Chains A and B, each alone.
Chain A
């Protein structure tokens, strides 16, 4: 069931178009993420939704009601601000109670509601502290309790984890998820961190320069990115450019300049002779020190030289040169890494990947290659 819909939202600051004809809808009860690099317009969209920013054209529909022209204090939408925006002169209690007091709720209800919500965010006993006496995580919990107490239909979270350090961020992410399960309110989560978005969201909208590039579940976005931007922004990948040859049912071959012929699944039904761009995720490759036996006709086998090795504990990253192309590869360590015969810089290795594991992109921009993690080689 749809709870919030954006219809053709456009926003300009002078000549600068921040949002261009943005339309999508969000289902009730889900965690929906707006993901994009800084300056992509995600915060502006959130502010339009919260009522802090007027949009030049378009409408915001909340639960069937047009709220485009409603001031923030009349919308059933609450925001957890990036810096939490806790009132420094008020205690935790007063901060949480603010929304009830401001809307004229009677004191008796306030005295009942506030402890409930403090309990919900595990802050019972902190009533009389001031925001200055709380840790970052606690402040965030106050901000969330404060926003939830008005029972909004939608909770907007503007980069809520940006101000926390890495460990705390991971913990708060889990807490947020649990909280969401408990309250069942729709969360809209704005972030530039793809890992955060991936781990918490039901759906993600990827934004770039004021336009929605793709909306989908985390798996869809990761496995089936429509554009090079989404492919490169979410996770790491390898791009190849080539011409389609030898159509064979659902499969085809890809002729790439200065590269071995690849056998691929033709998911887009591309015609022979067409130029396509494909994305292959690093973990789809397997690395072998010795030539593996080719068991499956759909398996591609490549031969290259290791140019860089970065050991990261759970996995190792390799950059391997295959003819003129450098391929990023991730190898999971299933076994005890010390027992494995290690692959070192300068070694010649074999790479394999299945034809089904490459994905053809609808849209490719060379600039997006900059988003990829590349070693600083000449």
Chain B
């Protein structure tokens, strides 16, 4: 009797753990399937034909993908840089400001985080179309620049949605920051500029780097907004994958996915390791 009733009062329900494990299975099964499929010699990814690295080889020689990757990186680089600068400044403002305007400001900063991509994409598209149709003509005649949808509009869009994330991450770091350090520096006679560069900046640097990494990942990841504001013929990696997917499940994408997955795992676990080591 005791064997069955052993302290059921103290025993925790196993139900939550069961849900957790089932969810993890749910989350990972499709990913595991892709990994398996990428080593399948079959062209359509269906039944197992045999182990093969042919799709990785094809991927390696796939010029369109490499070109798309290059475009993605260029866009990610510029949008990360500008959004990090703007986002960090905004975070500093939000951290220091005590004015009533702050709530308006933070609404403007935070709502982009949950507004659906498609709304941001289409509204930017509308803006660009409107500006081009209104000003395109005279800009061309005065400055000789032909305004059109392209890398510039993609980068502008990416800066817009990355900015909020950078602000959020940097601000979180700022709020953990011990304000008495600044007072200590002032007490020791440092000027405000000196304090900013020698105290504030080094301390929030991990936050800025984290924000930049976040922005970079989001930029690489983005399909929806890019798709709306890109010009004809501009291809980033997500754009390529999407167009390939509309035609089915081409096996070369399996290989690409696996490489992406591996990079993601290395990246996430790497940052985790790095950070936990720094802490200890």
Q: Which candidate, A46-54, A241-249, A318-326, A350-358, is the interface stretch facing chain B?
A: A46-54
A71 within 8 A of B: yes
- Chain B residues, Cβ within 8 Å of A74: 9
**Interface positions of B (Cβ within 8 A of A):** 2, 5-11
State A63–B226 Cα separation when bound (angstroms): 73
Question: How far is the CB of A75 from the nearest CB of chain B, in Å?
Answer: 8
Taken together as a complex, chains A and B put the C-alpha atoms of A52 and B5 apart, in Å, by 15
Instruction: Kindly report which residue of chain B lies nearest to residue A68, judged by CB atoms.
Output: B7
Q: Find the A residue at minimum CB distance from B4.
A: A69
B8 / chain A contacts, CB cutoff of 8 Å: 69, 71
Partner of B5, one of A53, A69, A72, A73: A69
* Chain B min CB distance to A69 (Å): 5
Across the interface, which residues of A come within 8 angstroms of B2, CB to CB? 69
Size of the chain A interface, CB-CB below 8 angstroms: 12
Bound form: Cα–Cα A48–B9 in Å:
10
Judge if A332 is at the interface, Cβ distance under 8 Å.
no
- Residues 164-180 of chain A, each 1 if its beta carbon lies under 8 Å from chain B, else 0: 00000000000000000
Main secondary structure of the interface of B (DSSP, over half): loop
List 22 interface pairs A-B (beta carbons < 8 Å), by A numbering. A51-B9, A51-B10, A52-B9, A52-B10, A54-B6, A54-B7, A54-B10, A69-B2, A69-B5, A69-B6, A69-B7, A69-B8, A69-B9, A70-B9, A71-B8, A71-B9, A71-B10, A72-B9, A72-B10, A73-B9, A74-B9, A75-B9
Q: With a CB–CB cut-off of 8 A, which chain B residues contact A53? A: 10
CA distance A72 to B8 in the complex (A): 9
A-B pairs with the 10 shortest C-beta distances? A71-B9, A54-B7, A54-B10, A51-B9, A69-B5, A72-B9, A69-B7, A71-B8, A53-B10, A70-B9
A68 to B7, CA, bound (A): 7
Enumerate chain A residues within 8 angstroms of B6, measured Cβ to Cβ: 54, 69
Q: Which partner residue on chain B sits nearest A48 by CB separation? A: B10
**Interface membership of chain A positions 36-76, coded 1 if the CB is closer than 8 angstroms to chain B and 0 otherwise:** 00000000000000011110000000000000111111110
| Max chain A Cβ within 10 angstroms of own Cβ: one of B2, B5, B6, B10 | B10
Residues of B within 8 A of A68 (CB): 7
Residues of A within 8 Å of B11, CB to CB, are 54
Give Cα A70 to B6, complex, Å: 9
Q: Give the docked Cα–Cα distance between A371 and B27 (Å).
A: 56
CB distance from A13 to the nearest CB of B (A): 13
Considering the chains assembled together, what is the distance between the CA atoms of A142 and B129 in angstroms?
Answer: 65
Q: How far is the CA of A52 from the CA of B11 in the complex (A)?
A: 9
A54 cross-chain contacts in B, Cβ below 8 A: 6-7, 10-11
**Which residue of B is nearest A55, CB measured?**
B7
Instruction: Name the residue in A53, A71, A72, A73 with the highest tally of chain B Cβ atoms < 10 Å from its Cβ.
Output: A71
Residues of B within 8 A of A70 (CB): 9
CA distance A71 to B5 in the complex (A): 10
Q: Besides A52-B9, A69-B9, 14 other CB < 8 A contacts?
A: A51-B9, A51-B10, A54-B6, A54-B7, A54-B10, A68-B7, A69-B2, A69-B6, A71-B8, A71-B9, A72-B9, A72-B10, A74-B9, A75-B9
Q: How far is the CA of A75 from the CA of B7 in the complex (A)?
A: 12
Closest chain A residue, CB of each to CB of B10 = A54
In the bound complex, what is the Cα–Cα distance between A134 and B187 (angstroms)? 38
The complex places the Cα of A247 from the Cα of B219 at a distance, in Å, of: 93
- Smallest beta-carbon distance B270→chain A, Å: 32
Least CB distance, B8 to chain A, in whole angstroms: 6
Give CA–CA (A327, B8) in the complex, Å.
54
Considering the chains assembled together, what is the distance between the CA atoms of A264 and B199 in angstroms? 68
* Separation of A230 and B90 alpha carbons in the complex (Å): 61
By a CB distance below 8 angstroms, the chain A residues around B5 are: 69
- CB neighbours of B7 from chain A (8 A): 54, 68-69
A350–B125 CA distance with the chains assembled, in angstroms: 98
- A54 to B12 CA separation, bound complex (whole angstroms): 11
The chain B residue with its CB closest to the CB of A54 is B7
Contacts of B9 in A (CB 8 A): 51-52, 69-75
CA distance A264 to B9 in the complex (A): 54
Q: How far is the CB of B12 from chain A (nearest CB, A)?
A: 11
- Mark contacts of A101-125 with chain B using CB atoms, 8 A cut-off: 1 yes-contact digit, 0 otherwise: 0000000000000000000000000
Task: Return B3 CB to nearest CB of chain A, in Å.
Answer: 10
CA distance A238 to B118 in the complex (A): 80
Q: How far is the CA of A52 from the CA of B10 in the complex (A)?
A: 5
The docked-state distance in angstroms from the alpha carbon of A313 to that of B59 is: 87
Give the nearest-CB partner of A66 in chain B. B2
User: Least Cβ distance of A81 to chain B in Å?
Assistant: 16
Restricting to A69-106, which residues have a CB under 8 Å from any CB of B? 69-75
Most buried by A among B5, B6, B8, B9: B9
| Cβ-closest chain A residue relative to B2 | A69
B7 to nearest A CB, angstroms?
4
CB distance from B55 to the nearest CB of A (A): 48
**A73 / chain B contacts, CB cutoff of 8 Å:** 9
Bound-state CA distance A253–B191 (Å) is 75
Bound form: Cα–Cα A173–B8 in Å: 35
Find the residue from A52, A54, A73, A75 having the highest chain B CB count within 10 A: A54
What CA separation (Å) do A54 and B10 show in the bound complex? 6
A234 to B5, CA, bound (A): 41
- Residues on B with C-beta less than 8 A from A75 are 9
Task: Give the Cβ gap from A99 to chain B, nearest Cβ, in Å.
Answer: 16
B5, closest chain A residue (CB): A69
Q: How far is the CB of B98 from chain A (nearest CB, A)?
A: 25
User: How long is the Cα–Cα vector from A53 to B9 in the complex, in angstroms?
Assistant: 8
Determine the residue in chain B with the shortest Cβ distance to A75: B9
- Alpha-carbon distance between A271 and B6 when the two chains are bound, in angstroms: 51
- Shortest Cβ gap from A108 to chain B (Å): 30
**Whole-angstrom CA separation of A52 from B9 in the bound complex:** 7
Given the complex of chains A and B, what is the CA–CA distance between A54 and B8 in angstroms?
A: 9
* Chain A residue at smallest Cβ distance from B11: A54
For B2, B5, B6, B7, which residue has the most chain A Cβ atoms within 10 angstroms?
Answer: B7
Give the complex CA separation of A52 and B6 in angstroms: 13
Complex formed: what's the CA distance from A73 to B9 in Å?
Answer: 8
Interface residues of A in 12-52 (CB under 8 A from B): 51-52
